[in-house]
Amino acid sequence: MPKHSQHRRRGKHALDADDLEWLESAPETYDGPPEGDRWSTWDQSTPTEKGPRPYPDWLVTELAAVDTEHGILKTGKEADVHLISRGVPGTDRVCLLAAKRYRSAEHRLFHRDAGYLEGRRTRDDRMNRAMAGRTAFGKQAIAAQWAVAEFSALCRLWELGVPVPYPVQIVGTEILQEFVGTHDGYAAPRLAQVTEGLGELWEQLVAAMVTLAREGLAHGDLSPYNLLVHEGRLVVIDLPQIVDVIAHPVGPSFLDRDARNVATWFAAKGVAADPNALATLLRKEAGLLP
């Protein structure tokens, strides 16, 4: 790749002595941002690849904005989540975003995808075979499919009023979403770390799960580790495996498992939470029981 092509994706903080010498000889070809790590990717997404309108007031959408990396918030087998700030240089226009980046084909992908992918076959037989065989192309297709599935789920649930981070945009296998935490970059704790206000949080969670069930959906992997608590409000995260409980061959079992995982945890903390009662409620709301 020509050297000037590399510079299109690098900010001044990444420049070494050789870079600076090259810039002096050909400055007119350098179009990197004046600061930060990259130009904002906002204009790289189509309207359908951006979050629901109206866009929140806090979201920076100016084309002059730049993205700056601040480290990893969470690592996982399928994706890593990075903290970035998007701001307009020389102004106070800045917001914090969580960038979820699904792993590329050369890394181990999706340790739990077999059951979830049952309900997600495409019309392209070649792609289905590649995904089933976990070829390099198939793994990349899986990564893209999971990213699209999660972004679509976030958009749908946001519009339904389910407490999820606002989905900003998707670019390839990167999802940019609202950062849930403090203004200085400290992420909200997971439910598993919280010891106070559990009765109210349980009520919030049941309401969210009922809303999902009424839409014929289950989170698919719900646990105290993919629920955040921010200023007394429960926020549901990690949604790539969201399941259509009607279309999926064993969809109701995902409702039952979600109910069992969360209700058992709350019950162990002294909250009046019954796994069987919650599972029955969710099945009724989904239209699976009379």
Closest CA to 251 of 290, 204, 283, 284: 283
124 is catalytic: no
CA angle 248–251–254, rounded 5-degree value = 140
Please give the backbone phi and psi of residue 160, each rounded to the nearest 5 degrees, phi first: -80, -10
The Cα–Cα gap between 259 and 94 comes to 39
User: Residue 236: in which H helix or E strand, if any?
Assistant: strand 233-236
The Cα–Cα gap between 4 and 239 comes to 38
CB distance 206 to 279 below 8 Å: no
Percent helix, percent strand, percent coil in the chain, to nearest 5? 40, 20, 40
The Cα–Cα gap between 70 and 96 comes to 10
**Exposure string over 51-78, b if 16+ CB within 10 A, otherwise e:** beeeeeeebbbeeebbbbeeeebeeeeb
Q: Across the chain, which distance is largest between two alpha carbons, in Å?
A: 75
Catalytic residue among 67, 113, 238, 258: 238
Catalytic residue among 37, 67, 113, 221: 221
The residue count of the chain comes to: 290
238 is catalytic: yes
Catalytic annotation, residues: 221, 238
